[in-house]
Structure 1
Amino acid sequence: MDFSNKLLKWYGSNARDLPWRNTSNPYFIWISEVILQQTRVNQGIPYYYRFIEEFPTVQALADAPIDKLMKVWQGLGYYSRARNLKEGAIQIVNEFHGQIPNTFDELLKIKGIGPYSAAAIASFAFGRVVPAVDGNVYRILARVFGVFTPIDSSKGKKEFFELAKELISKKEPGRFNQAIIDFGALQCTPKSPLCIDCPFNEYCYAYQNNLISSLPVKGIKKPPQNRFFYYFMIRYGNFTFVRRRSENDIWNSLYEFPLWEHNKQFNFDEIGQKIKGLSFLKDTEPCIRYISEPVKHVLSHRIIWATFIILKIEKANYSLKADYVMIPIEELSTYPFPRLIDGYLAAEPTAKYFINRYM
């Protein structure tokens, strides 16, 4: 079976017209690859245009204020991608004279660029013969060639990479990588693949042996962890309080309201009692105006149960002023928040009331 030629022939009739395919600019390709790591193509396209408009060069990204960067990224999730982009841009400016490296090995030295992104940039922008192996590629190769090694194991990753190296077109490596990505997105999909019209159906191990749903093989995932967040939307005159998250945790560099995290969920009466012991609310004479029902927010390895408590205070204590930034409420929309908070502010009528008038 001539896998490469069959794939490229299929691609000639089915290629998607995507904006980052109309350029050989390695910076633009890098940005597109990072955006697409955890984002659907249709969702990622407007972010791609917005990002390269705001930060058109490596230098512009390296110089970008972190708040502006996170605001542009807001809504895409997996915010470490944005922070790594900036750190990578600074590294390229400082260590590579502002020029993105043109080899796979050199690209791997850049912060946030892993094997897949390095291969994509090297092959798309510089024509390097190196396979870009992502979830689509694992799925296609496992099905067509009957590979049962778990794709999330170190052995599996090495085995699939070596197989892809054997198959990749030596004349058109970039086009091959684009083709196999599209083939996984359009033809050999995770569910309900189009096997009847597949150019490999005569040779496909999974199709011939009725194992489509069994391949690729994945290891057992741990169940997601539940976390319980209690956010305090405090109205102090026409001001409220926020802080930038800086811990090595979710949503680093994004803003949030004063947060109390506990290992359990409390009812309304229990929350009212617990408030009295929070350091940032001591001696503030808080008046509870609203307590939301828990809002469920699902992340890859966690489930956040967020309760929003709207308070009004007449005075702010030292802890509140020292640990949080006091801002005019009407400026909330200018700050980068996690999607959980941003969505709540935009959609919840009580939150809009909090923003627009006194309660």
Structure 2
Amino acid sequence: MRELPRADDLLVWYDRHARAMPWRVPPAARQAGVTPDPYRVWMSEIMLQQTTVAAVKSYFETFTERWPTVTDLAGAADEDVMAAWAGLGYYARARNLLKCARVIAEDYGGSFPREHADLLLLPGVGPYTAAAVSSIAYDAPETVLDGNVERVMARIFNDHTPLPQAKPVFHNYASSLTPPLRPGDYAQAVMDLGATICTPKNPACGLCPWRSNCAAWAEGTAAELPKKMPKKRKPTRLGIAYLAKRVDGAWLLERRPDKGLLGGMLGWPGSDWGDAPTEAPPIRAQWKETTAEARHTFTHFHLRLTVKTALVPMDRAPDRGEFVEPNVFERDDLPTVMRKAYDLGKGS
């Protein structure tokens, strides 16, 4: 029977090859006594949900420079945080980021709770994030299971159970390998292994410190794992975005409801998104339609926005939304789909 991989072998590899990331304490510094900041660990894990490391780095640096502690973030204005988050996507994460920071500031005196059970009670903190903070920040032997770790477990054990049904099975595998010593470094090591060696396509098995213990490598099945259930076809929804520009250069914007997609974000007034959007101009004007649509894909559907533009006089009041002066308006404060609409309509 094939022996299980040893955490020590992976940690030796990690000590040499750990990725340098702005939220990470390198293994040598960690062993020298430098402890990770739970705030930075938590911030990075929230940002990394359904997003790549490359996309997150600049956002993380901006947030932690502007709000260096969880208390600083708790005192920030909602609209400032949402604007800083714009373009990172999945905006419910930003709303939960603020809620969580305020709970920690008010109920925990500005210090992250150490107990895993307490972390799970925080807004926006699920089992993965709680385990990551417990493990990485506090060196607790919690089991961290993200997509990279799932892939490593599927291959090490040559398990063809498809995701997402396999998640509990893979969690058990990962738990069985988590060591009592250096569990924080180990958690980051196994994630790095999945991100750099045990990759979705063309895994570099020849460089893997766990190759001799990998059942999928022995059977030649690594490239086809993990198995996944077929994805459902995403529906397409239609909508209208109204870009009204006042003669002085101000743009008509509307803050979206807190709940729902793009909740709390500034955007263009528009119709509902559905099969047949209803005309609902936010201000009386001669509307012109751009030749192209703004297209964007969300988690569960594709969106196609018809972009309509109008130039309006100074004395005309909108039915909804408010004009934002040209010296205040920032394209980059808009979510990505609204930026796409702006880029189509700004010159019309």
TM-score under structure 2 length normalisation: 0.88
2:73 matches 1:74: no
Residue matched to 1:218: 228
Letter aligned with residue 339 of structure 1: T
Letter aligned with residue 310 of structure 1: T
Q: Map residues 166-205 of structure 1 onto 2, 5 A cutoff.
A: 166-205=176-215
**Which region of structure 1 is more displaced relative to structure 2, 222-231 or 176-185?**
222-231
Letter aligned with residue 96 of structure 2: N
Instruction: Report the secondary structure of 2:302's partner residue.
Output: strand
Kept after mapping to 2: 8 A contact 1:231/1:306: yes
**Which region of structure 1 is more displaced relative to structure 2, 100-109 or 176-185?**
100-109
Instruction: Report the secondary structure of 1:293's partner residue.
Output: strand
Q: Map residues 146-165 of structure 1 onto 2, 5 A cutoff.
A: 146-153=158-165, 156-165=166-175
CA distance in 2, matches of 1:59, 1:330: 30
Identity of aligned residues (%): 30
Residue matched to 2:290: 291
Kept after mapping to 2: 8 A contact 1:55/1:61: yes
**Which region of structure 1 is more displaced relative to structure 2, 86-95 or 292-301?**
292-301
Q: Map residues 217-256 of structure 1 onto 2, 5 A cutoff.
A: 217-238=227-248, 239-246=250-257, 248-256=259-267
Q: How big is the shift at 1:247?
A: 5.4
2:15 matches 1:5: no
Letter aligned with residue 282 of structure 2: F
**Number of residue pairs matched by the alignment:** 335
Letter aligned with residue 331 of structure 1: V
Residue matched to 1:309: 308
Q: How big is the shift at 1:240?
A: 3.1
CA distance in 2, matches of 1:252, 1:126: 33
CA distance in 1, matches of 2:158, 2:231: 22
Instruction: Report the secondary structure of 2:239's partner residue.
Output: strand
**Which region of structure 1 is more displaced relative to structure 2, 121-130 or 305-314?**
305-314
**Which region of structure 1 is more displaced relative to structure 2, 94-103 or 75-84?**
94-103
CA distance in 2, matches of 1:245, 1:135: 32
Residue matched to 1:34: 46
CA distance in 1, matches of 2:69, 2:236: 40
CA distance in 2, matches of 1:131, 1:25: 19
CA distance in 2, matches of 1:135, 1:104: 21
2:112 matches 1:100: yes
Letter aligned with residue 197 of structure 1: L
Kept after mapping to 2: 8 A contact 1:128/1:174: yes
> For each residue in 1:33-69, what CA deviation from the matched residue of structure 2 results, as whole angstroms up to 9, or x when unmatched?
1111122212211111110111111111111111100
Kept after mapping to 1: 8 A contact 2:256/2:266: yes
Q: How big is the shift at 1:314?
A: 4.4
Change (3 A) 1:126 1:263: closer
Letter aligned with residue 251 of structure 2: T
Q: How big is the shift at 1:12?
A: 2.1
CA distance in 2, matches of 1:167, 1:213: 22
Letter aligned with residue 114 of structure 1: G
Candidates 104, 109, 117, aligned match of 2:129: 117
Change (3 A) 1:314 1:219: same
Instruction: Report the secondary structure of 2:237's partner residue.
Output: strand
CA distance in 2, matches of 1:313, 1:235: 6
CA distance in 2, matches of 1:9, 1:89: 36
Kept after mapping to 1: 8 A contact 2:242/2:282: no
Letter aligned with residue 96 of structure 1: Y
Candidates 331, 336, 339, aligned match of 1:339: 336
Kept after mapping to 1: 8 A contact 2:294/2:340: no
Q: How big is the shift at 1:326?
A: 2.4
Residue matched to 1:64: 76
Letter aligned with residue 333 of structure 2: P
Residue matched to 2:17: 14
Change (3 A) 1:232 1:290: same
> For each residue in 1:252-276, what CA deviation from the matched residue of structure 2 results, as whole angstroms up to 9, or x when unmatched?
111111102354479xxxxxxx75x
Structure with greater helix share of residues: 1
Could you tell me which runs of 5 or more consecutive residues in structure 1 were left unpaired when the two chains were aligned: 267-273, 355-359
Instruction: Report the secondary structure of 1:119's partner residue.
Output: helix
CA distance in 1, matches of 2:263, 2:315: 26
Letter aligned with residue 224 of structure 1: K
Letter aligned with residue 261 of structure 2: I
**Which region of structure 1 is more displaced relative to structure 2, 50-59 or 133-142?**
50-59
> For each residue in 1:142-163, what CA deviation from the matched residue of structure 2 results, as whole angstroms up to 9, or x when unmatched?
111122333313xx33222222
Residue matched to 1:140: 152
Kept after mapping to 2: 8 A contact 1:67/1:335: no
Could you tell me which runs of 5 or more consecutive residues in structure 2 were left unpaired when the two chains were aligned: 26-34
